[in-house]
Chain A
Amino acid sequence: KQEVTQIPAALSVPEGENLVLNCSFTDSAIYNLQWFRQDPGKGLTSLLLIQSSQREQTSGRLNASLDKSSGRSTLYIAASQPGDSATYLCAVPIGNEKLTFGTGTRLTIIP
C-alpha cells in the first residue's frame, strides 16, 4: 500500500529565503507526482506535475524534483514571499487514477 509522507508538518521562514519542502513515498512504481497548494478553507491548486521519466519540473519560482529510486520528491521555492504562505501537498496516483496524498506542510513566510 502506497504511503506518502511530508516532513516537516510546519515550516516558518523569513521572507526572501529559499526553501525546500519534502515528500516521500513508499512504492516507487509511480506514473507521476503532483504538488498542490491549499489555502485555508479553500480547494487544491495544482502547482506542478512531474512525470516518472522526468527528474525536474519548473514553474516560475517553483522547482520540483523527483527521485523515484529513493522514493522522494522536493519542492523548491525561490525568493519566498508572504503570498506563498499556504499548505503544500504532494500526491501520487495509484495505478492511473486515484491520488494518494501526503499530510502536507504548512508554510508560513514571515514578512
Chain B
Amino acid sequence: EPEVTQTPSHQVTQMGQEVILRCVPISNHLYFYWYRQILGQKVEFLVSFYNNEISEKSEIFDDQFSVERPDGSNFTLKIRSTKLEDSAMYFCASSPWTGNNQPQHFGDGTRLSIL
C-alpha cells in the first residue's frame, strides 16, 4: 500500500539554525499538510497546500515557517530560525482531494529536537 514517507526520522539542531523537513506524499495525491505534536500535547494543524500554494495556515505557521513543493514528488517544511519551542514531532499528510470521504494519510513523522 502506498505510504507517505518523511526524512529524517530525527533531526537535532542548534537554536537559531534553519531546518528543512522533507516529505514524499502518496504519488496521486493532490492535497498536502503539515501537523506537529509537542510532547504530551495534541496533534496541531500547521498548513495545507494545494496547486502549488498554501490553501490554509494556522496561527502557529508564522513567518519563520515556509513550505515548498520543489519538484513533482517532494513537499518540504522549512523553519528559518529555530526556537526551543519548535521541538516537536512533525507529521506530513496527504489526501487525493478534499471531500467528505477522503482520509488523510500520515507519515511516521520527524522528531525535531532544538538544543
Instruction: Please give the residue numbers on chain A whose beta carbons come within 8 Å of chain B beta carbons, in ascending order.
Output: 31-32, 34, 36, 41-46, 49, 51-53, 89, 91, 94-104
Q: Which of B69-96 contact A (CB under 8 A)?
A: 91, 93
Whether B106 pairs with A51 at a CB distance below 8 angstroms is no
Instruction: Give bound CA distance, A104 to B43, whole Å.
Output: 10
Complex contacts, B43 vs chain A, CB 8 Å = 44, 89, 91, 99, 101
Instruction: Give bound CA distance, A49 to B48, whole Å.
Output: 20
Instruction: Give bound CA distance, A42 to B46, whole Å.
Output: 19
Residue in A34, A43, A100, A103 whose beta carbon sits within 8 Å of that of B45 in the complex? A100
Q: Which of B95-115 contact A (CB under 8 A)?
A: 98-109, 111
Instruction: Give bound CA distance, A103 to B40, whole Å.
Output: 9
Query: Is B56 interfacial (CB 8 A cutoff)?
Result: yes
Cβ distance A73 to chain B, nearest Cβ, rounded Å: 15
Band of interface residues on B: 20 to 34
Whether B100 pairs with A52 at a CB distance below 8 angstroms is yes
Instruction: Give bound CA distance, A51 to B99, whole Å.
Output: 10
Query: Is B14 interfacial (CB 8 A cutoff)?
Result: no
29 A-B pairs whose Cβ atoms sit less than 8 Å apart in the complex: A32-B100, A32-B101, A36-B106, A41-B111, A42-B109, A43-B91, A43-B107, A43-B108, A43-B109, A46-B103, A46-B105, A49-B101, A49-B102, A49-B103, A94-B45, A95-B56, A96-B99, A96-B100, A97-B31, A97-B48, A97-B56, A97-B98, A98-B56, A98-B58, A99-B43, A99-B104, A101-B42, A102-B42, A104-B42
Whether A51 pairs with B105 at a CB distance below 8 angstroms is no
CB-nearest residue of chain A relative to B106? A44
CB-nearest residue of chain B relative to A35? B103
Complex contacts, B48 vs chain A, CB 8 Å = 97-98
Complex contacts, A102 vs chain B, CB 8 Å = 42
CB-nearest residue of chain B relative to A44? B106
